[in-house]
Structure 1
């Protein structure tokens, strides 16, 4: 290795180490202070603030993937056959919520395109409650400004986690229906095999471009272990906390100074979009709670327009039924990924010709 390569490697290691240490310190302080979701929220907000201020932050290579796989495996262990049967009974409600979430997103996208100067493609894919990478990639194919889509999608997850975690913690009754109930003790040989299987399955899903591959790979491995009554091991709390730390730090590094240089209009429009999506999710959650008789705190998390990883972590930490939250988000993610592109093509056909030129004329102008 030449001198330039060695210096670059040293610089990267210092940035990664500094980012993780800052996130860890924030998590420990938040945990000591009794703040909600300390191992996810505190690193996210701290590293995000550092990144916006121009500090040289960097995520652990593959850290978010590893964190998602660990968290997914821990959650999958709750999905025994009885729980899955209960979730299937709620499938019509889940599908209705997914469809209405998409409708709300389209309405907000139309307003953003009409009032805030976004191109239609950029507004549409920025508002869709899917994965950051998936929506940015799809948006690029249809002429959206990929950077703006990625920024607003990342902002959506950060805002939803920051707002919903404390709100749901206040509504929830700790200790009832807790996520840790009924899980076995930690057995390291079985746990190593389980996490290895989760990693292999996640890598396979990623190779086939499955959205949220590492979360879903861990989830499937844990659920299969529970469903088939294989030798079980609980997940050590320290590993779950470490997974949250890795995910939180990775999310925080996305907030680069480019977001601030995008101007007040971009930030204000982004926050208005997030407010609309949040309000829509709250309305859907309360309506679903009234329809099903389930606890509002559970369904507010289940219908929130956040990421499956972050919302399921919140449910686990607060002590709400994790399986319900996971199932609602899985149905929504699959629906969004499958339907967003066909719906956009349909929207382009029914929009006036003046709007359709955005699709034919190349990428939307970056919103700066």
Structure 2
């Protein structure tokens, strides 16, 4: 006997087709990564699963609002790591942390020099090398004539290298005997409901004001402030963090496809070299800062590598490091880049034009 299934309505298929495979590939990749014991399995596995699907020719799109919801969940959980004692420690060394963060931002000069030596325009080399987000640097580079595809590709590759490489290296070097000592406080439904609602409202305001990563910064601000003000000792429910990682990883994986890896291979190789150099330079800076301040060097390195707020903070959480310090340094770096990138570019390009005219 043959079983006949009712036909799928064409309209429903058309609505689901552009994005429905992204969360499925992300879930498959995340589940496989967890079975293999990867660090941050539901983020890295989801990213690689969706990227692999797109490289096979299925150009599925990100889930609608998936990255916003993922940032909302993860940032709320990260903010709950803040407490008065940790905040006091950060403020006591704020000057040193700011100097260290500024030094890591200056490592972008490596990428600028590499790209300029091989014929890229100053605008393309500059905005492709800034350790900020892809969308923000594309928007800043557009009015200055930067090659936007190169800028976006450079930041996407840097994000993938740091996200895949740093957690794996840290887990290999430092996780032995430490993961079992990490304790996670339990959830409190009332507080969490309040934090999610207020965090979402602040994120909407930030989004209206065109802040970068509005849902991440809004939820992080509310959760961190309430956690410090009321000395909360709560956490997300079991599995909530993994859901946030899955949503974020599935969306980030949509940045990649076969043409991405074929596009300007020499440019991409220079981006890889500049990223590795920036990470390696962060190590001696972190060791010096640790010697001066007594802060944990492993935490300082995570705070200074050119990664993302969520990715590096989750790595710190998985290894039992000082999550608020990593978060504070990553937020500082983002703010420094966003506020200084455009005026520094204008000053630097203006000086170059004056010297060219004088010559």
Q: TM-score of the superposition, structure 2-length normalised?
A: 0.89
**8 Å contact kept, 1:132–1:150:** yes
SS at match of 2:256: coil
Say whether residues 1:157 and 2:159 are aligned partners.
yes
In 2, the alpha carbon distance for the partners of 1:144 and 1:205 equals 27
Question: CA separation in 1, counterparts of 2:101 and 2:80?
Answer: 25
CA RMSD of aligned residues (A): 2.3
Corresponding residue for residue 262 of structure 1: 263
Contact kept in structure 2, 1:12 and 1:58, CA below 8 Å: no
Mapped pair 1:37 → 2:40: yes
How many Å separate the matches in 2 of 1:260 and 1:355?
35
Which stretch has the larger CA shift, 167-176 or 308-317? 167-176
Report the counterpart of residue 103 of structure 2 in structure 1: 100
Cα deviation 1:113-142 (Å, max 9, x = unaligned): 122x32111111111111221111111122
Return closer, same or farther for 1:33/1:284 CA change in 2, 3 Å cut-off: same
Aligned to 2:24: 21
1:121-270 residue pairs with structure 2 within 5 A? 121-173=123-175, 174-175=178-179, 178=182, 180-181=183-184, 183=185, 185-229=186-230, 233-270=234-271
Which shifted more, 18-27 or 255-264?
Answer: 255-264
Deviation at residue 112 of structure 1 after TM alignment:
1.1
Query: Which stretch of structure 1 is more off in the superposition, 228-237 or 307-316?
Result: 228-237
Q: Determine if contact 2:171/2:319 at 8 Å carries over to the other structure.
A: yes
Does residue 1:69 correspond to 2:35, yes or no?
A: no
Query: Are 1:296 and 2:297 matched, yes or no?
Result: yes
Structure 2, unmatched stretches of 5+, are 1-8
Residues paired across the two proteins, number = 347
Match of 2:61, SS state, is coil
5+ residue gaps, structure 1, are 1-5, 357-368
Contact 2:114/2:270, CA 8 A, preserved across alignment:
no
Task: Name the TM-score, length of structure 1 as normaliser.
Answer: 0.87
Deviations 1:7-64 (A, max 9, x none): 5762452342322111111211211222111111111122122223322222111111
DSSP-derived class of the 2:20 partner: helix
Match of 2:315 in 1: 314
Distance 2:198 2:74 in 1: 14
Equivalent in the alignment of 2:325? 324
Q: Does the Cα contact within 8 Å between 2:18 and 2:61 map onto a contact in 1?
A: yes
Residues 259 and 267 of structure 1 are in contact (CA less than 8 Å); yes or no, is this contact kept in structure 2? Answer: no
Cα drift, residue 203 of structure 1:
1.2
Match of 2:339 in 1: 338
- 8 Å CA contact 1:225–1:232 kept in 2: the answer is no
SS of equivalent to 1:340: helix
Q: Aligned in 2, Cα 1:341/1:9: closer, same or farther, shift over 3 Å?
A: farther
Query: Structure 2: how far apart are the matches of 1:301 and 1:12?
Result: 41
1:222, CA displacement in angstroms? 1.0
Could you tell me how far apart the structure 2 residues matched to 1:54 and 1:145 are? Answer: 25
Q: Contact 2:80–2:232 at 8 Å: present in 1 too?
A: no
* 3-state secondary structure, aligned to 2:345: helix
